Amino acid sequence: MYDFKFADIGEGIHEGQILKWEFKIGDTIKEGETLVIIETDKVNAEIPSPVTGVITKLGPSEGETINVGETLAVIDDGSKLPSEVKTKIEAQPITESEEENAAGVVGTIEVSSEVIASSIETEINIPLKEARILATPVARKLAKDLNIDIKTVKGTGENNRVLKDDIYKLSEVSKVKTAEPIKQLPLTFNSERTHREKISKLRKTIAENMSLSKSTIPHTTIMDEIIVSELVDFRSKQKELANQKEIKLTYMPFIIKALTNTLKEYPIFNSSFDHNNLEIVYKNYMNIGVAVDTPDGLIVPNIKDADKLSIFEIAKELMVIKDKASNKKLTLNDLNDGSISITNYGIYDATFGAPVIKYPEVAIIGIGRITKKPVVINDEIVIKEILPLSMSIDHRVIDGGDAGRFLKLFKSYLTNPMLLLLS
């Protein structure tokens, strides 16, 4: 018998909702076949079976929630674990190295019952001993997400195991999660003229991420306008060629290309701030995030190694990630390891905005709607296409002067698009 547990699949995901069971009790499933689709707060994860056998038990019903460490299914694979060995395993606490092996990614999850058995979070006040650092997979992943050294955390669980609540006590996030709610008058509504809906997991994640970003990062927003008449003409001339290659050529590929070129000169914008260790983490890659509006809410997948792609290649990648986002086909790899993000509120006929930085990045670019405006050039009033631009920065690591110099170079690429091809 194989007790298949729901493993920690990374990206801070600690629970999910059963979206669809692909097999039922009594069915024979082969190793690698999709057993269940689980909706998390970031992606819909297809969970494959780790073994071949007959399903004898399934976890929660469709629509119910499952937490990391709980049983997804019991599969009769022909093996049988001796009771005396099983008893020994359950009694033995997990070491730090063993628990590290419990983490996996979608499509390659291999987690044994020995590992998951130690995920139970029962708070017991035991004096701290000089021993190996023990922690549940949930707590270990949470500590990593919040840049907390787990060795500095006093565990309150069995055998001094570190629990997720122990992590929250030391994090800045705990101030948001555990703060006393603001006292206000009770909200009363006419039930006949109103209705209530539970927010989706994605909306819940957006709310938490926005709270985390605004409570952690001191935002400063800079706004400007760029004359992009040459870019408008250049794109217009290349649209037919793009159509022949079945590529939708918008302004976004040019903006992304300009951004990667600028990041090469100002790497501080391609970094993250490690508050606990007081270090700036510079990234040796450029994964450009693009905010995508979906029926369920905003999600920010990123284009991997965008600095190595041509404008047409970037356009193709944009088409792919937008299609995947609309059809809930994004994977964790599409979402993680972002460098800097772009949000385009111009598609909704908006001009300026103050975008919120995607934690733990240090900057975000906001793009508005291109409009024709009168401008003064060589003491003459002429009509030009103008692109509104805003950029929010993490003022802990980026100063106004840095932001000004960054935008000056960034604007030069968009003002003269031939620089994008010659650079």
Tell me which residue of 112, 101, 94, 209 sits closest to 155, measured CA to CA.
94
Q: Determine the 3-state secondary structure of 185 from DSSP.
A: coil
CA contacts within 13 A on the Cβ side of 334: 23
In total, the chain counts a number of residues equal to 423
The distance from CA 142 to its chain's CA centroid, rounded to whole angstroms, is 14
To 5 degrees, how large is the angle CA 350–CA 257–CA 346? 5
Query: Which one, of 309, 327, 177, lies nearest residue 252 by Cα?
Result: 309
Q: What is the rounded CA–CA span in Å between residue 19 and residue 22?
A: 10
Q: Which one from 14, 195, 219, 395 is the annotated catalytic residue?
A: 395
The two structure tokens encoding residue 359? 């934690």
Tell me whether residue 395 is one of the annotated catalytic residues: yes
Q: 3-state secondary structure string, 120-168?
A: CCCECCCCCCCCCCCECHHHHHHHHHCCCCHHHCCCCEHHHCECHHHHH
Distance CA 291, CA 300 (A): 4
Q: Which uninterrupted H or E stretch holds 349?
A: none
| Residues assigned a catalytic role | 395
